[in-house]
Amino acid sequence: MEWIRDERRPTITDQLEVYGKSDKVIVLIDDTEPLVAEYNRGTTINGEKWEQWYCPAYEDTIEGVTAWCDCIPKI
C-alpha cells in the first residue's frame, strides 16, 4: 500500500450529468484519521472547475485530506 501525497487524484469512473466521481478510496485526514471517500470533480454553470472529497459514511464533503490510497478491493 502506498499513500499518494502529490497532485494525482483518483480516476473518474462514473460520469454523471453535472459531475464525475471516482471509485471509493481510503483517505487520510491530517495524516491521522483514515476514512473511505470518493473524489468528485465538475464544472459550474459559469465554467469554473471544482473538486472535492466526499465521505459516504458522513454523507458530506470532507476537508483536510493529506493523502489517499486506492487499495480497497472491488467486491
Higher pLDDT, 8 or 74: 8
pLDDT for 59 equals: 96
The values of phi and psi at residue 56, to 5°, are -60, -35
For residues 4-20, give the mean pLDDT.
Answer: 94
Question: For 14-72, how does the pLDDT look when each residue is reduced to its tens digit (9 = 90+)?
Answer: 998 889 999 999 999 999 999 999 999 999 999 999 999 999 999 999 999 999 999 87
User: What pLDDT shows up at residue 74?
Assistant: 63
Residues 75 and 26: their CA atoms lie apart, in Å, by 16
Place of cell 469554473: 48
pTM score above 0.95: no
Q: Three cell numbers at 61?
A: 464533503
